[in-house]
Amino acid sequence: MTSKFWAAAVAAFSLTTALPAFAQQGVKIGILNDQSGVYADYGGKWSFEAAKMAVEEFGGSVLGQKIEVVSADHQNKPDLGVSIARRWYEVENVDMITELTTSSVALAVHDLSKQMKKIDIVVGAATSRLSGDACQPYGFHWAYDTRALAYGTGGALVKAGGDTWFFMTADYAFGHALEKDTGDFVTQQGGKVVGAVRIPLNTADFSSFLLQAQSSKAKIIGLANAGLDTTNSIKQAAEFGIVKGGQKLAGLLLTAAEVHGLGLEAAQGLVLTEGYYWDRDARSRNFGEKFFKRTGRMPNMIQAGTYSATLQYLKAVKAAGTKDTEAVAKKLKELPVDDDFAQGGKVLENGRMVHDLYLFEVKKPSESKKPWDYYKELAVVPGDKAFPTAKESGCPLTK
């Protein structure tokens, strides 16, 4: 064979071996969350669908390479979540992990992502530590956090006269953070926390905890839990006549998914903060109606937030011209967030995406005019009030 042939063959071989990381793999996004347990409706397979919607809207490819979305169930176990994330990063060439319901799992994967220089965008987990003392250069936090929920719901109820609180708290990182952040706002505004009880995740019987809350005589019982734990505690509170007795329940992390599961008869009158509601305006309706056609249900802020986080990651890859972690992380902090989930959003140095949230009251059954017509808006919660500045967050990156 001629030298020209060998030169061409070597060049062709070099080209195919020089480009495997991008040309052969494309861009891979992982949805890691609870798909079978207490948070299966809260995020679950519906977040996977939302991420796929973002990819389809983006066009299915970026920089000429195919985009793939994979998912797994971490079962709310940090060790399992880290094991899946490590395999995804090391073996399956996943570039970014998102959703990450359950704060203990999110914190563990957040730390792994830092070690392995991979991007994660947390949507489903609430703890404000993710953009606070546990912040890291490649970690981002979307949709909401415990501090924003505390400011929105806790602040509003104290101003309305709910100045004594008792907390029913999920006994892990998320619940502790939500109780602390809300309690801080209550006391700052002249209110008082009269007690709290810690409750294991996925508890079936809340009766003893509800009796403690009832006997506290607190005006507000703050439910620092989520998913099925919230719906079960609300249902059982009704059996004890707690609301009829004059105490008010505050769903500190309650979304349209849980309201739907409860039904308006049980959920009516609850005050909550969400970062998205499908029927709020034209942009939210656009996503909500497309999601409904695909899944038969309306999205909550976790599912809409997963759509937004996935879409913004792809925009950052395109803007960076590469999927290199450092370059993409830089673009994520530079690009404005403007989509059907959030408009006028911005990402701070600590990875916190700042956007407006909304204070809602759940409608009475007589006020609801159509399926999924659940909320009446009480107030806009401005993002720059709900979330601290990067320097105020305690994130070491800002020092």
Please check whether residue 308 lies inside any domain of the structure.
Answer: yes
Please check whether residue 17 lies inside any domain of the structure.
Answer: no
| C-alpha 17 chain-centroid distance | 39
Residue 145 scores a pLDDT above 50: yes
Q: Which of 394, 380, 153, 139 is nearest to 280 (CA)?
A: 380
Exposed, middle or buried: residue 307 (CB in 10 Å: 0-12, 13-18, 19+)? buried
Please check whether residue 171 lies inside any domain of the structure.
Answer: yes
The domain tally of the chain equals 2
DSSP lists the bridge partners of residue 376 as 361
Structure tokens at 111: 């730390």
Please check whether residue 20 lies inside any domain of the structure.
Answer: no
Same domain, 155 and 232: yes
CA dihedral 122, 180, 175, 98 (to 10 degrees): 0
Residue 15 scores a pLDDT above 50: no
pLDDT category at 399 given cuts 50, 70, 90 is: confident
Same domain, 139 and 154: no
CA dihedral 175, 340, 314, 137 (to 10 degrees): -40
DSSP lists the bridge partners of residue 199 as 170
Exposed, middle or buried: residue 69 (CB in 10 Å: 0-12, 13-18, 19+)? buried
Same domain, 258 and 369: yes
Same domain, 266 and 303: no
Beta-carbon contacts of 113 under 8 Å, excluding residues fewer than 6 positions away, are 85, 89, 97, 119, 120, 136, 138, 139
Q: Tell me which DSSP letter residue 27 carries.
A: E
> What is the C-alpha to C-alpha distance for residues 105 and 79, in angstroms, rounded to an integer?
8
- Amino acid letter, 274: E
Residue 4 scores a pLDDT above 80: no
Same domain, 246 and 375: yes
Please check whether residue 11 lies inside any domain of the structure.
Answer: no
Same domain, 241 and 373: yes
> What is the C-alpha to C-alpha distance for residues 376 and 387, in angstroms, rounded to an integer?
23
Same domain, 158 and 305: no
Name the 3-class secondary structure at 379.
strand
Please check whether residue 56 lies inside any domain of the structure.
Answer: yes
> What is the C-alpha to C-alpha distance for residues 46 and 35, in angstroms, rounded to an integer?
9
Averaged pLDDT score across all residues of the chain: 93
Over the stretch 69-106, which tens digit does the pLDDT of each residue have?
999 999 999 999 999 999 999 999 999 999 999 999 99
Instruction: Say if CB 333 and CB 73 are below 8 A apart.
Output: no
Upper half-sphere CA count for residue 64 (Cβ side, 13 Å): 6
Structure tokens at 69: 């979305």
Calculate the alpha carbon distances from 332 to 70, 119, 124 in Å.
Answer: 21, 10, 19
User: Which domain does 42 fall in, by range?
Assistant: 26-143+280-350
* 187 membership: H or E segment, kind and range: helix 173-188
> What is the C-alpha to C-alpha distance for residues 111 and 276, in angstroms, rounded to an integer?
28
Same domain, 240 and 363: yes
Same domain, 107 and 212: no
CA dihedral 56, 58, 63, 65 (to 10 degrees): -10
**What number is the average pLDDT over the span 106-112?**
98
Please check whether residue 8 lies inside any domain of the structure.
Answer: no
Please check whether residue 391 lies inside any domain of the structure.
Answer: no
Same domain, 60 and 197: no
Structure tokens at 54: 């973002």
Instruction: Say if CB 210 and CB 245 are below 8 A apart.
Output: no
Same domain, 104 and 117: yes
Residue 8 scores a pLDDT above 90: no
Residue 22 scores a pLDDT above 90: no
> What is the C-alpha to C-alpha distance for residues 80 and 103, in angstroms, rounded to an integer?
14
**Helices 78-90/103-116 angle, 10° precision:** 30
Domain CATH number, residue 98: 3.40.50.2300
* 378 membership: H or E segment, kind and range: strand 375-381
pLDDT of residue 12: 43
Same domain, 221 and 370: yes
Q: Tell me which DSSP letter residue 130 carries.
A: G
